C-alpha cells in the first residue's frame, strides 16, 4: 500500500541521482545486486550484535537507494521481465536476511527473557508469512490471475521493521514486540486477502441452465 503511494515521490527525489548513474553507464542489474548485497551485509553486521539505532538508519538509506534500479531502467529503456524477476527475487533474500538477523539477535545475543524470545519467534514467523505474501501473488500471476490486493506489501513491511527496530534501540524490546506483532498480523491478513481474491477469480463459472 505504501509502496504504490510513495513510488512517484521517490522517483522525483531520486531522478537526479538516477540520471548521474546513467551517465556513468551503471546498469540496473548492478544497482539491484549492490543494493541487495549491502542490505544483507549491513543487516548481519549491525543488527545481530544489537546496533538497533544506527542499523535501521543505514538500512533505510540503502533501501531507498535500491529503488534506483527501476528509475535507471526506465530512463535507459532497458526495463525487462528479467529485471523485474531479478529485483523481486533479491528483495525476498534481503527481507529474509534482515528478519533473520533480528531473530538471531533476540534469540541468541540479547539478554534471554520472555519478551526477547517472543520477538525472535515473531521475526521467524514474519519471514514465513512475508514469503507467503510474495508467493501468493507470483503463483496467481502464473495461473493467469492477479493478486494485487493486500494490506501489507513489501514497502509496508520494511517500514514496520525499520521503525520497530529503531524504537527498540531507543526504548527497549517491547516496541519490537509490537512491531513484529503488527508485521505478522498484517502479513497474515494480506495472505488471506490474496487467497480470497484468487478464489474469486478462479472458481468455476456456474452452469447455465437453458430452458427447453
Q: Give the three-state DSSP class for 34.
A: helix
Among 91, 111, 156, 207, the active-site one is 91
144 annotated to a ligand binding site: no
Tell whether 69 is in a known binding site: yes
211 is in an annotated binding site: no
Residue holding cell 427447453? 212
Is 66 labeled as ligand-binding?
yes
| 148 assigned ligand-binding residue | no
User: 91 catalytic, yes or no?
Assistant: yes
Query: Is 207 assigned to a binding site?
Result: no
Whether residue 156 is annotated as binding a ligand: the answer is no
Q: Tell me, what DSSP letter sits at residue 209?
A: P
**Which is nearest to 153 in space by CA: 176, 125, 127, 130?**
130
Which one, of 72, 76, 84, 58, lies nearest residue 17 by Cα? 72
95 assigned binding-site residue = no
The position carrying cell 526504548 is 171
Picking from 76, 50, 90, the residue whose alpha carbon sits closest to that of residue 176 is: 50
Task: Give the integer Cα–Cα distance in Å for 180 and 121.
Answer: 9
Query: Which residues sit in the known binding site?
Result: 29-32, 66, 69-70, 74, 80, 87, 91
User: Residues with catalytic annotation?
Assistant: 91
Query: Which residues sit in the known binding site for Mg(2+)?
Result: 66, 69, 87, 91
Query: Which residues sit in the known binding site for a CDP-1,2-diacyl-sn-glycerol?
Result: 29-32, 70, 74, 80
Amino acid at each position: 500500500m505504501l509502496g504504490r503511494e510513495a513510488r512517484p515521490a521517490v522517483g522525483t527525489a531520486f531522478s537526479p541521482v538516477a540520471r548521474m548513474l546513467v551517465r556513468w553507464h551503471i546498469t540496473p542489474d548492478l544497482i539491484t545486486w549492490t543494493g541487495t548485497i549491502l542490505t544483507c551485509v549491513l543487516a548481519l553486521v549491525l543488527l545481530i550484535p544489537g546496533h538497533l539505532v544506527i542499523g535501521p538508519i543505514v538500512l533505510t538509506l540503502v533501501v531507498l537507494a535500491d529503488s534506483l534500479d527501476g528509475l535507471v531502467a526506465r530512463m535507459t529503456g532497458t526495463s525487462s521481465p528479467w529485471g523485474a524477476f531479478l529485483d523481486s527475487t533479491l528483495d525476498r533474500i534481503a527481507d529474509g536476511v534482515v528478519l533473520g538477523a533480528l531473530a538471531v539477535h533476540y534469540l541468541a545475543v540479547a539478554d534471554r527473557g520472555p519478551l526477547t524470545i517472543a520477538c525472535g519467534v515473531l521475526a521467524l514467523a514474519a519471514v514465513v508469512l512475508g514469503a507467503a505474501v510474495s508467493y501468493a501473488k507470483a503463483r496467481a500471476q502464473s495461473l493467469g490471475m492477479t493478486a494485487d490486493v493486500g494490506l501489507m506489501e513489501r514497502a509496508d513491511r520494511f517500514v514496520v521493521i525499520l521503525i520497530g527496530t529503531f524504537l527498540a534501540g531507543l526504548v527497549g524490546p517491547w516496541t519490537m514486540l509490537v512491531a513484529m506483532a503488527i508485521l505478522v498480523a498484517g502479513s497474515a491478513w494480506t495472505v488471506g486477502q490474496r487467497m480470497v481474491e484468487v478464489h474469486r477469480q478462479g472458481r468455476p463459472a456456474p452452469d447455465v441452465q437453458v430452458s427447453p
